[in-house]
Amino acid sequence: MRRLLIVFCIVLVHVAVSGGETGTKKDDHIYRSGHDGVTAPLPLRTPHTEPPKLSPSESRKKGKERTEVLWLSGYVGKDGKFHAARVMQSTNHEFEKYALKMVEEWEFSPCKRKGVPVNCTMALEITFHPH
């Protein structure tokens, strides 16, 4: 059994459109948390299942005690779901599909701007620790 540690980080990267927003419709803007009065999303439900087991050759290469880390980026929508997830960095490609599938089930309180839910960028660090 492996333990899973999840660290939530807000992405502070600049987006292409001035003011930290993207999209074509006003309702579809993606804001940056902490800018222009936008509050950060908070995790509400982060279920996970057992991560994949390394193949025997990978286990020998990686060693049984190796910690695996993935960085995902995307945005938390007004619906509280993590959208457009993509792997930015990974220590083991065997965990990438699992992590992408896992975050589809997560729920967050949406970011808010002036008390109204908005979309906002977010990065997630997911760490798999062997037991």
pTM: 0.70
H or E, element range at 122: strand 116-129
* pLDDT range class, residue 83, cuts 50, 70, 90: very high
Indicate the SS3 state at residue 18: helix
Q: So what's the pLDDT on residue 95?
A: 85
Whole-number Å distance between alpha carbons of 46 and 113: 24
* pLDDT range class, residue 67, cuts 50, 70, 90: confident
* pLDDT range class, residue 17, cuts 50, 70, 90: very low
Q: So what's the pLDDT on residue 92?
A: 83
pLDDT tens for each residue of 84-96: 999 999 988 888 9
The H-assigned helical ranges of 9-131 are: 56-62, 96-103
